[in-house]
Amino acid sequence: MKKLHIKLPREARLDSIDELLCKLKWDYHDQITVDFSEVDFIEISALTLLSAFLLGAKKIKLFKRGNLISSRDKNVETYIKRMNFYKILDVNAEEDFMRWNGTGRFQEIIQITKENEVQDVVENLRKILEKQSKLPKSFIKIMEYSLSEVLENVFHHADSPIGGLVSAQTYSAIGKVQFAIVDFGKGIPKTLRTIPKYIHLQDEES
């Protein structure tokens, strides 16, 4: 039986999870285990990236069975559940907490599979920026437009079998708002190479 064990670092940030996933050999496995046991902090962008990789791998049948090992830190485990990691992967997980409305504070991981869902999602992200930042309205408008463009590109260019995953989290202690938009598509280099002018483009040139 071919198995893959993905052990996450204690501080699971976007760069560390990206590096970890890039090192993996993504061919077929009978079982994939994702091990959160040592995690005592995880960024929403890292959790969203991990969700997209697992959902995409599941969609294209890169593994037969999945196994999740929970964090020993109850707060981390509650956060992972609250931000929809288990729901996105269609895994039953008991929730012993109240799901308060996060409007204007955070966006749990959601999956968008249709282009007509984009504007409602962007509206929610804009509300977070308005409530959690001191940015001028003109800049928020630019951000709103940019987020809309990125999300629409998921449907126009990415060819992603899972659509896109979107999330946001406010980190008040450090004055930071983090957005994540992740798909399981072919990426910028492969998209550009569909255009005759860029057919010989190398990944590092894109």
Question: Does pTM top 0.85 for this prediction?
Answer: yes
Assigned architecture for domain 1-94: 2-Layer Sandwich (3.30)
Tokens (6 digits) for 150: 């990125």
pLDDT of amino acid 143 = 95
pLDDT of amino acid 188 = 35
pLDDT tens, the chain, 206 aa long: 899 999 999 999 999 999 999 888 778 889 999 999 999 999 999 999 999 999 998 998 889 899 999 999 999 999 999 999 999 999 999 999 999 999 999 999 999 999 999 999 999 999 999 999 989 999 999 999 999 999 999 998 778 899 999 999 999 999 999 999 999 886 433 433 343 443 443 444 33
- Alpha carbons within 13 A on the beta-carbon side of 179: 20
Rounded to an integer, what distance in angstroms lies between the CA atom of residue 31 and that of residue 33? 7
Q: Where are the domains of the chain?
A: 1-94, 104-206
pLDDT of amino acid 76 = 98
Q: Is the dihedral of CA 72, 74, 80, 86 positive or negative?
A: positive
Residue 191's alpha-carbon distances to 19, 75, 120, 194, in angstroms, are 22, 40, 26, 6
Torsions phi, psi for 136 (to 5 deg): -65, 150
C-beta of residue 57 within 8 angstroms of C-beta of residue 33:
no
Rounded to an integer, what distance in angstroms lies between the CA atom of residue 146 and that of residue 129? 13
When computed from its CA atoms, the radius of gyration of the chain, rounded to whole angstroms, is 18
pLDDT of amino acid 186 = 65
Bridge partner list, 170: 177
Strands (E), the chain: 3-7, 11-12, 29-35, 41-42, 63-69, 106-112, 164-171, 176-183
